[in-house]
Structure 1
């Protein structure tokens, strides 16, 4: 099941969306003292981009809300690449645990 979807909001403008609180890892996120809201998922995206795909940095913007993660821009390829990075975290509890542990070790603050 794909937790992320890309929609064309207007001609040539795209949004990558994830409904916060609807993933397979929400219980793990909560067990580790976080709230699996849109702001938390922005932190996940930022960590993934910085660690695994720095070439994506500044190719889209973020506009999360409590109930939704949103990245947006006119570079659909960049948003698709971000979705490919994020999707495994939305369904793999072990990967999410590892990401949060690494973030904690680095002193990274999720804005959740």
Structure 2
């Protein structure tokens, strides 16, 4: 799950967090013309959910900031699955390039 972390903010409520600017692929994100901020990572999560894991749709909400990605909700297993998928992207430059290229080809625009 590294570099993401899943916390229980209050009993039964969870938040999946990623400190923006701390991943192994930050330089790749910048090479691709984006800022590695929380809003960009929300876009990554949205693409992953829509393309690879549509069963996760609607099972959590997003609340990113410039310095942090955050997804939250009561469905811990959904957030764990998202964390696993995002961790793969956050640690693999080639996978990040593929995701951004596929998103661009589908007309997705990252809000970074």
Bin the TM-score by the shorter chain: over 0.9
Alignment partners' CA distance in 1, 2:5 and 2:92 = 18
Matches for 1:84-95 after TM superposition, within 5 Å: 84-95=84-95
CA distance in 2, matches of 1:105, 1:90: 21
Residue in 2 that maps onto 1:66: 66
Q: Shift of the alpha carbon at 1:104?
A: 1.2
Cα shift at 1:74:
0.5
Aligned length: 112
Determine if the alignment matches structure 1 residue 49 to structure 2 residue 49.
yes
Structure 2: gaps spanning 5 or more residues: none
C-alpha distance in 2, partners of 1:74/1:63?
Answer: 14
The Cα of 1:99 is off from its aligned counterpart by: 0.5
SS state of the match for residue 18, structure 1? strand
Q: Deviations over 1:55-106 (max 9, x none)?
A: 0000000000000000000000000010011001000000000111111111
Q: Taking structure 1 as the reference length, what is the TM-score of the superposition?
A: 0.98
Shift of 1:107: 1.4
Write the distance in 2 (CA, Å) between the matches of 1:66 and 1:110: 13
Distance 1:104 1:55 in 2: 22
Q: TM-score, normalised by structure 2?
A: 0.98
